[in-house]
Amino acid sequence: MSHLLRSLVILFLIGTLLNSGCTSPVSHEDAAANITAGPPAPSGYAVTLSQPDSRSDLIRVDSDVYNVGEVVEFTVTNTGLIPLECSNTPPDFRVIFQTGSGHWATRMGPEVSVKGNLSLLQKGESTSTYRFVTGGWDPGRYRIVSDCGVERDILVRALPVPTPAVSLCPVTNVTNMTPWLKVDPIPDQHAARAFTITGTTSLPAGQELNYTIFSIQPGTANTTYAREGSFSTFVEEGTCGTNRWSAMGEIQATGEFFIGILDTGRHVSAIRRFTVLP
């Protein structure tokens, strides 16, 4: 990588990374069959994600991050000064997801919000409690869309894969160890096919990372994005102080691309080049 290209990539990483996800849709009827009246399984990670807007806080959840198979439980509470107008009586909701190309598609509920008898959620009032199960869902970023005009993002992550017992870790001096991120070697990929990129890090399990996939045209400073925006993933527990992370991607074009990843504080970063074939 030339000095100019390396400088452009570093500047790109510093200034652009934001948030991520991928799934396949099911019908609203299938999702409704999974709704349970029993107590929800607690979310494994009490983490807050960046949200579409300030009104997202009107959707109350225990956490923004859930393991696949956990129950999402929420209410809509009007903490504003004026009533919320809802499209149905009682208010309903749907769930959409972020595809590999960055677009949003329907996971459960109608493609377009169906209006029925309008209702008002007065100041201080809450809806009844809604629950849905994420069993069988693909990991990724989802958005709860309420009939009352408010939305909230959640992240569904894969369950950790149990690892066999390993021998004791070697003794290392971690007092002065600088945090690091690494990207595993990436084999050639194929256009229009989803793929996963992995890596290691010394950052703690549960920490959010931001990544993006892009291409810089040879001999220019023009940047081509493989996806619309940047996306999020989380550090997973590893062994001997070396934790792991994974990122999903899908590229429609061919050529040479890069993945850039860094922590939310933008102190630790890594980049690797790979090829996309037809």
- The answer on pLDDT for 18 being more than 70 is no
Rounded Cα gap, residues 54 and 79, in angstroms: 12
- The answer on pLDDT for 127 being more than 90 is yes
CA dihedral sign of residues 21, 49, 263, 156? negative
Residues 6+ apart with CB under 8 A from 41: 69, 70, 71
180 phi, psi to nearest 5 deg: -145, 155
Rounded Cα gap, residues 142 and 153, in angstroms: 6
Domains, the chain:
3-20+177-277 (2.60.40.10), 34-157 (2.60.40)
pLDDT tens-digit map of 56-103: 999 999 889 999 999 999 999 999 999 999 999 999 999 999 887 778
pLDDT of 5 reads 47
Question: Model-level pTM?
Answer: 0.45
Q: What are the angstrom distances between the C-alpha of 164 and each of 66, 167, 246? A: 24, 10, 20
Position with higher pLDDT, 155 vs 169: 155
**At 81, which amino acid appears?**
L
pLDDT of 218 reads 62
Q: Select from 198, 176, 184 the least CA-distant residue to 249.
A: 198
